[in-house]
Chains A and B, each alone.
Chain A
C-alpha cells in the first residue's frame, strides 16, 4: 500500500487529499469535495497529467496563446514545449481550432486560445 498526501490542482479551492494506492491497483481518495478531485488524485498515483498552456509564434512575429485540449502525461510537458516552439503558425485560427493535432501521439490536440488572422 502506498499513501500520498496531495494538494488538488483542479480548482482554486486546493483541497488537501489523501490518496491510497491499494494492492489490487485501485486507488481510494479522501478529502476531495468533487468528482474531479478524485480523478486528479487517481491520476497522480497512476499516471500524472497536466494541461499545458503556452504560446505559439505566428508568421507576423506575434505570439498566440494555445493549450492542450485535455491534460497530457506530465513527463511529456517539456517535449511538448519543444514541439510548440518549433512551429510558426501561418494559417488563421480562432478559439478552439486545432494548432497541432494529436501532439506527441498523446491523442490530445493543441488548440488555439485566441484569434490570429494576420496572414500576409
Chain B
C-alpha cells in the first residue's frame, strides 16, 4: 500500500489552503485528492464578484479567488490527483480512492484533512405537493449550468428561499434575459446578505416575499406554474393568500448541508446542529490525526473564513505528523440554543482560543457571555446578530490558563 504523511480530501479553497499551510510548516510527503477536473471547488462556478476583500484587499470573482490558491499550490509543487474520487476512509486512516488511470487504490496516511465542502439541500428534503416535472432545480445547479455550461434552464423563474445563492442567481438569470417573478422566503427575514438583496433584487425590481412559500407545483413534462402562499407564525399556509404564478423554472435556495459521507465511514459521529464532525481548536476530530475544515466542518456561506480555518488544520496536522502533539484535558463548549453552535466544540489547549459561532435568529442589542461554571469569563455587546453571519470571540491566554477544566457555556442575553 502507498503511504503518505498527509492526505487532503477535496481541492476547494479549504483543501488548498490546508495543503499550503501544512507544506509551509514542513510537510513534504502530502497529496491533495480532488474528484473534479480542476482545483477550485465550488468557487469555480461563483463568477460574481465580492470575494477576497477580506483576504486579499481586492474585489475578485470566485474563479479569481480560487486561482490565487491554485497558484500557491503550484508554486510549492504540492502533488494533486484530479479526477479522483475518494470512496472510503477507515478510522486508522486508510483511504480508498479511484480514477480511470490508477483504478481503485489505497493510501495509508499519518494524517488526513477532510475538506469535501457542502452541497445544497435537494427538493426531496422539502415537502411540496404536486407533480414532479422538469424545471425544478437547486440554485447551485442552475449556477453551474449557466456559468460553466452556458446553458439557461428557463425563461420564467420563481425562486424559493432567499439564501445568497438564490439571490445571486436571480440577478444572473435576469442579466441573461430571464424574468424572475418572485423570490419567496418562508421565514420573516431573508437568509441572504443585505448587499445581495440590494444589488441582486432591488437593482432589477425583483420582488422578495417574506413569510411566503411554494405550496403547489403544476406541469406534466415540464413545470408550468407554481402556487405560492403566505404563512402564519407557525409556518402554515394562510387560506385566501394562495396565488398562482406561471413559470418554467423553480430554483431552490434552501440551505447547504456538509458532505460528510466519508466522515461517517471513518466512524465519526456528526453534530446534529452543524452536520459536521465536532472538532477541537486545531480542527482535529474525535479521531486523532483526522482533521476537518471548510464547508464540510460547518456551513460557511462566505468563503472569507474558510482558508483561515483550513490553515489551522494544515498547520496542526503538520505538528501532529512531527510528533509535536500534546493535548490538554478536553473542555467541552456548550451553547444556550440562541447561540446555535460553536466551532470548535471542545478545547484541548490553554492558549488563546477563537470560537466561531452562529445564532438561531435575528437578535438586537445582545450581550454574548461565556461562563466557566458559575464564573463569567467573557462578555461582548453587539447591536445585531443574524443567523446568516458567522461571529467569533477570542478567549485570551490569561483567561484560558485560569479555566477550571469543567464545561464552558456560551450564551446570549437579548435586550429591548
Contact = CB atoms under 8 A, between A and B. Distances in A.
B63 A113 contact: yes
A108 interface: no
Contact of B47 (A10, A50, A55): A55
A11 B53 contact: yes
Given A7-B194, A11-B53, A12-B50, A50 B148 contact: no
B61 interface: yes
B175 A81 contact: yes
A51 interface: yes
A11 B49 contact: no
B61 A67 contact: yes
Nearest to A94: B67
A45 to B, nearest CB: 15
A53 B48 contact: yes
B123 to A, nearest CB: 26
A85 B63 CA distance: 20
Given A11-B54, A50-B203, A55 B49 contact: no
Nearest to B384: A16
B193 interface: yes
B195 interface: yes
Nearest to A6: B198
A8 interface: yes
Interface in B123-150: 146-150
A9 B150 contact: no
A95 B67 contact: yes
B63 A63 contact: no
Contact of A14 (B59, B193, B203, B304): B193
Contact of B61 (A50, A78, A113): A113
A77 B199 CA distance: 12
Contacts of A7: 194-195, 197-198
Interface string B42-80: 000001111001100001010110010000000000000
Given A12-B302, A113-B47, A57 B53 contact: no
Q: Which of B48, B59, B148, B195 has the most A CB atoms < 10 Å from its CB?
A: B195
A65 B50 contact: no
Interface in A66-81: 67, 74, 77-78, 81
Given A50-B203, A54-B47, A113-B64, A65 B147 contact: yes
Contacts of A14: 193-195, 198
Nearest to A70: B59
Contacts of A114: 63
Contacts of B198: 6-7, 9, 14
Interface in B161-215: 175-176, 193-195, 197-199, 203
A40 to B, nearest CB: 10
Contact of A65 (B47, B54, B195, B199): B47
Interface of B: 47-50, 53-54, 59, 61, 63-64, 67, 146-150, 175-176, 193-195, 197-199, 203, 302, 304
11 contacts: A7-B194, A7-B195, A11-B54, A11-B195, A12-B54, A50-B199, A51-B59, A54-B175, A62-B150, A95-B67, A113-B61
Interface of A: 6-12, 14, 16, 50-55, 57, 61-63, 65, 67, 74, 77-78, 81, 95, 113-114
